[in-house]
Structures are given as C-alpha cells and as structure tokens.
Chains A and B, each alone.
Chain A
C-alpha cells in the first residue's frame, strides 16, 4: 500500500539548472496534480492531469513543464530554476468516478522541499 510517493524529498540546486521532481501513485487514479506551498499563499496549483497524455495549466504554470506518459507517474520539471521557485512541492491524485456524486478527495504525497541558490 505505497500510495503516492515523491522523490527526492529534499533538493538543493543552483539557479539556471534543470530539475525534475518525481511523483508516483499506485492507485491508478486518473487525476494528478502539482502544487507549490509558500508562506502566505497556501497551496497553489501548478499543473494538473486528467489522464495519461492529458495535462493542463493551473494557477502558476510559468517556468514549469509536466508530462504524463503513464497513469501512475507525473513528473514536474523546472527547465531553468530560479530563486522564486524555492518552495515545497506537493503532488496529489484523485479518482474521477463515472456517474453519481464525484469523489474529489485528493490524496497528497509527502512533499519535496526545493531550494534554489
């Protein structure tokens, strides 16, 4: 029962470097999400995906790239890291039920703390 995992848990990188944060879920949930958490801003949605090969922008997508070739994986890439991208990143997943009341509960990973120097 691994659930949803993120790696690495901690990362320090330099400005301008490319960084990829990994997210893996074992439930075959159709929806996956990437958030960043910053003091005073709560959680802000970066990108989300409704299914494999379907992704869409959230509230703060600039500077980030995502892909979803497999249902269980949803990596987030910072193409050229900036100090403003220093944050805690959370991945989440949820089920989209066919028919009946939708279950929008999102299940969160433990987070990745990224520092850009």
Chain B
C-alpha cells in the first residue's frame, strides 16, 4: 500500500540557517509528490509538486525539493529560514482515484 513517512515530528532551526525536511514514500509506480505548508490556524497551501522531469523542483517562498528515486525520498529544503517559515509541513503522494496520502507532518520552529 502507498504510504508517506516524515521521520521528524518537530524540528527547530535558527533564523538564517538552512533547512531540510525529510520525506520518504512507498509507491509502486512513478509517484506524484507534493509538499504542503500549514500556518497556525489555517488550511494547507501547496509549496511545490513533482510529477516528472527535472528531479529538483522549485516552489514558492524560496523552497525546493529533490526527488530521489533510489532513496524513495522527496526532501524539502530552504537555504535560509525566516521566522515566518514556522509552520507545519506535510509531504503527500498521489494515490489512485484523485486522492492524496499525507505524511504525519513536521512542525518547524524558528529560533531568533
């Protein structure tokens, strides 16, 4: 069965430091992968998505993610974190029938 694992429940980084959030997926075919961000008290917003082609995907707010088939990973990165990036981040994989399967989420805290 398809699944998504985000190994880190909570991460704290200093403002200005680099960030990498991990995501591993289990999917038989070529996956369609997504990263969403949820700010406190709000719904989810799409950061970026991967369907095919270039394995390095650029998203909004300066985020990028790299698809690595050999590692079944789709890690999210940002070179320099801002305090406004504090939020919860969800990785998701497309499942049949138009559905998404979400990971459990990683909560990001940013230290001043």
Contacts and interface: CB of A to CB of B under 8 A. Distances in A.
Interface of A: 31, 33, 35, 40-45, 48, 50, 56, 58, 90, 92, 94, 96, 101-102, 104-111
Given A105-B49, A108-B43, A45 B99 contact: yes
Contacts, number: 55
B52 interface: yes
Given A101-B51, A105-B49, A41 B104 contact: yes
Contacts of A108: 36, 43-45
Interface residues of B, number: 22
Interface string B33-46: 01010000111111
Contact of A106 (B42, B51, B100, B104): B100
B45 A104 contact: no
B71 to A, nearest CB: 21
Interface of B: 32, 34, 36, 41-46, 49, 51-52, 90, 94, 97-100, 102-105
A104 B102 contact: no
Contacts of A90: 43-44
A107 to B, nearest CB: 8
